[in-house]
Structure 1
Amino acid sequence: MAHSTENAHSDRRRTESNSSEKELYQPSTLDSLPVLSSSPTPEDVERDWPTGWRPYTSLFGCFLLMYTSWGLVNAYGTFASYYSESLFRGDDLMLSNLIGSTQCFVILFFSFIVGRLLDANHSRELLMAGSVIVTIGMFMLSISNGNGGLDQGNYGLTWLTQGLVTGLGMSCFFVSSSQSFNNAVRYVTIVLSVSSFAAVLLARPNPAHPFRSPKKWMSKRTWVDTSAFRDGAFCCFTASICALFLGFYCVFFSLEEWAATNGIAYKGTSPPGDRMALSTYWLLSIMNGCSTFGRLSSAWLCDKFGAVNVHMTVTIVSSILCLFLWTFAKTLAPALVFAILFGAFSGAVIGLPSASMAAILGEKPERQAKLGHWVGMMYTAAAPFALVGPVISGHLVTEYKTYLGVQIWSGMCLLLSAGFMAGAVFFKRRNEMSSDSDEKV
């Protein structure tokens, strides 16, 4: 009798869970299309490769969105270098890093809202709003610091326009000059504006993706999917992204000043007679440029070895590069090697969170319909860590007059992130085994 009662309770819980799942997932007419009963083979994938022009223009539009959001965040080290030597000379580096980390925080914090709106097929409205806000924020930055000369910076307005307003516009998407700072920012504003509004026209969601329009927008369950917190893989992977953002952008924010302080590269005019000299700007440009290789190659590797496995591996390698190669780089040659290698692996590190979360959700349409929701909640949880990480690393430099603390901090945060990813791999495999067992029953 006790065993029978226990089975009854178990069946009732399973029924309630299924009904909750159906309530959240509202299938579209596209859900009537046939679904393969087994995993697709390489031949199936090749046959399904898009042949029209729309998927490729949409891919280019998504590239523009990344370029105008995280691309500019990656380049913030150039702004930080100019601020420390010109606009805000003598200030604690944590203050200039706070501007860049505020951008990261705002982008990530509003991700749970943006992700839910994307799941409900409101991408066009989001992109239009982001394009307008980014343009206004960057243009206001160009008129908020006097003539852009020595000690003419207004920190409060710079934080407001570049950190908060521009970051808010970037949250809807997901460089500097040695001459006139204000004109340089205006040129950047023009590029961002053109890229943003082009993305509005080109970045169109796949019509075959299952969308979820909520019955009540003001309901708590619309914005926070509490079932995610009962998924061990989601919790571990979210923790890994929190640790990742605690140390990841410290590298990009600090690279130029580290190179200049240690005499590895120069800022301003080139030293006379030194043919091997390199501007600090090029180090950051090389690092960002090499990230393209990591993003492309990691996509191919994910098809073979799984997104979370690849993500964990490249994060471990990035940690090793920070802890060993960066700390022992004393001349230009090893600094260039670090910029190239870390750029390649970091491109995969920062480009794979969404793919890894998609792998954790699995292939079922009702699960994939939550992708924007779960990714958004993950990034929102990581927002405070993205805010304080660069601030801590900047203060370490000011306090101890060395970049060794930043190098160790970034490396250990990445290593911790990889450890949590290992936990996500464990829970993901356990979930898959449990799902296979249920299907056999």
Structure 2
Amino acid sequence: MSSTEDIDIEKKNVVAPSTGDGASTPATVALSIEPKAGNDLGPPPDGGFDAWITVFGGFCASFVQFGLANAFGVFQAYYKTHQLAHYSSSTISWIGSVQQFILFFGGLFSGRLFDAYGAKALLVPGTCLFVLAIMMTSLCKEYYQFMLAQGILFGIGSAMIFHPTVSAPSQWFERKRALATSIVVAGSGLGGTLWPIALERLMNEIGFGWALRTAGFLSLALLGVAVACVRTRLPRRKAQSFAGLLSPLKEAHFTLLAVGVALASWGMFMPFFFVTTHAAQLGAGSNLAFYSLSILNAGSTLGRGFAGVADKFGRLNSITLGASLTGILLLAFWIPLNSVPALLAFAPIYGFVAGIIISLVPPSVAQMSLPHQIGARVGLTYGIMAFFTLSGPPINGALLSAGGGGRKGFQYAGAFSGAVVFAGAVCIFTARLKINKKLLAVV
């Protein structure tokens, strides 16, 4: 299957039979084949001002929204020694878990609304809620306050920003879909690299409250740019009914991909939450421990950008490889880590391979979808993923506690996370074989 065939499915209105060798023809990549809707705009232009300005706007939004979400490891370590010192690591991590759960689960709602009403209908209120959440977090002192502001409100605002910005490029790009999405998602890696450094400096110099308020004003400016830049190509249409929202799960290849991504997410975010804590446990100073998360996110930035090569080698091929390597690194490198230099070497490599997975979820789902269904199906995938991201950090936090807060606890977390990521890689590879059984095919 060529990289252009598998995304030209909207031009067909029948499902082609499988070929004799077990490989599916391009039409079977679609979850459902239906006649084109009215207002046919033709294939995506794969370029032009509106297309690339959408990518730029998405990059800015991703830098702020997912960048700050990726920086939760800094908050995890800070709360453990300041406002929430009398709470366990597992309990504190629930704040970040709830934040991620709402971010991803919100795709069930924001994805279908994006398909119907476009990006700005979500980005404008999402920006207001997101900035309000940061400002309210700056005033928090008690656990329930952090949960309400940084967990729930931040998650709702994030869901309204994240899903339209990762779905919009697929309306504008076809052959360069993975490249465009990887540029957008690379913003989150860059944000995850710079935000921890900035927050750590600001917390030390001007205090927690004003550090968060400064972050809030910067977020408002960059999200304003995103609101102005992100464009929707397809015309408005009636929102998909909730009854039909789960219909893609009838397709085996979509279900396998969604479950595989969910299993991978169950484990792959563990270092993003606990690398700072692990560095401190190994004897790193407070500054170096904070920087370890930035190093991890720097590697992730490169991986998310590198994911653009998937347009040439196949998006499902590439995401399978990324998940497999992530599992290997957790099992073979995280578990035996016993020094700060080893952790600092592990961090950028792990971030790189995990970044490939993060970038390729939207384009992998998009190549199984009709253009006007991309938002809903990407949202459904993230909605399934949400339940795993909700429980992953607390499970790993509990494993740390079971190990007495020492090295053994981090080994337990590495074993669990590596195993579930590997299981996810198997599911994704099976989905790829459902589409084309030829191992060397570009899928």
Same fold (TM over 0.5): yes
Q: SS at 1:244's partner residue? A: helix
Higher mean Cα deviation, 109-118 or 123-132? Answer: 109-118
8 Å CA contact 1:61–1:198 kept in 2: the answer is yes
The CA deviation string for residues 123-174 of structure 1, in whole angstroms up to 9 with x for no partner, is 10100011000011110111122xxxxxxxx000001000000110000111
2:153 is aligned with 1:165: yes
Partner of 1:331: 339
8 Å CA contact 2:265–2:388 kept in 1: the answer is yes
Partner of 2:91: 95
Larger radius of gyration: 1
In structure 1, distance between residues paired with 2:51 and 2:366: 19
Partner of 1:416: 423
* 1:351 corresponds to which of 352, 355, 359: 359
2:328 is aligned with 1:320: yes
2:327 is aligned with 1:308: no
How far apart are residue 49 of structure 1 and its match? 5.5
In structure 2, distance between residues paired with 1:51 and 1:80: 42
In structure 2, distance between residues paired with 1:245 and 1:112: 17
* 1:379 corresponds to which of 370, 382, 404: 382
* 2:260 corresponds to which of 226, 240, 244: 240
In structure 2, distance between residues paired with 1:140 and 1:13: 52
The CA deviation string for residues 315-367 of structure 1, in whole angstroms up to 9 with x for no partner, is 11111111111222222322122111011111111111011112333xxxxx2
Q: SS at 1:28's partner residue? A: coil
2:290 is aligned with 1:281: yes
In structure 2, distance between residues paired with 1:321 and 1:94: 23
Superposition pairs for residues 222-301 of structure 1, below 5 Å?
A: 224-226=245-247, 228-263=248-283, 265-267=284-286, 279-300=288-309
Amino acid at match of 1:261: Q
8 Å CA contact 2:268–2:326 kept in 1: the answer is no
Number of aligned residue pairs: give it: 368
* 1:341 corresponds to which of 331, 346, 349: 349
How far apart are residue 59 of structure 1 and its match? 1.3
8 Å CA contact 1:251–1:410 kept in 2: the answer is no
Amino acid at match of 1:155: Y
How far apart are residue 21 of structure 1 and its match? 5.4
In structure 2, distance between residues paired with 1:420 and 1:234: 10
Amino acid at match of 1:232: A
8 Å CA contact 1:27–1:211 kept in 2: the answer is no
2:53 is aligned with 1:50: no
The CA deviation string for residues 293-325 of structure 1, in whole angstroms up to 9 with x for no partner, is 11122211x122210110000111111111111
Q: SS at 2:286's partner residue? A: coil
The CA deviation string for residues 246-300 of structure 1, in whole angstroms up to 9 with x for no partner, is 112221110000110111x2116xxxxxxxxxx1111111111221211122211
8 Å CA contact 2:315–2:360 kept in 1: the answer is yes
8 Å CA contact 1:27–1:212 kept in 2: the answer is no
Unaligned runs of 5+ in 1: 1-11, 36-44, 146-153, 269-278, 362-366, 432-441
The CA deviation string for residues 397-417 of structure 1, in whole angstroms up to 9 with x for no partner, is 122222111111221121111
How far apart are residue 22 of structure 1 and its match? 4.3
How far apart are residue 218 of structure 1 and its match? 8.1
Partner of 1:439: none
In structure 2, distance between residues paired with 1:241 and 1:73: 19
In structure 1, distance between residues paired with 2:86 and 2:416: 23
- Amino-acid identity (%): 26
In structure 2, distance between residues paired with 1:122 and 1:356: 21
Change (3 A) 1:66 1:218: closer
How far apart are residue 58 of structure 1 and its match? 1.9
Superposition pairs for residues 68-217 of structure 1, below 5 Å?
A: 68-145=64-141, 154-174=142-162, 175=196, 176-177=199-200, 178-179=203-204, 180-205=207-232, 207=233, 210=234, 213-214=237-238, 217=239
The CA deviation string for residues 87-114 of structure 1, in whole angstroms up to 9 with x for no partner, is 1113121111100011110011110211
8 Å CA contact 1:311–1:348 kept in 2: the answer is yes
Q: Note the aligned Cα RMSD (angstroms).
A: 2.4
How far apart are residue 13 of structure 1 and its match? 12
8 Å CA contact 2:326–2:350 kept in 1: the answer is yes
8 Å CA contact 1:26–1:211 kept in 2: the answer is no
2:82 is aligned with 1:65: no
Q: SS at 1:403's partner residue? A: helix
Partner of 2:4: none
Higher mean Cα deviation, 232-241 or 117-126? Answer: 117-126
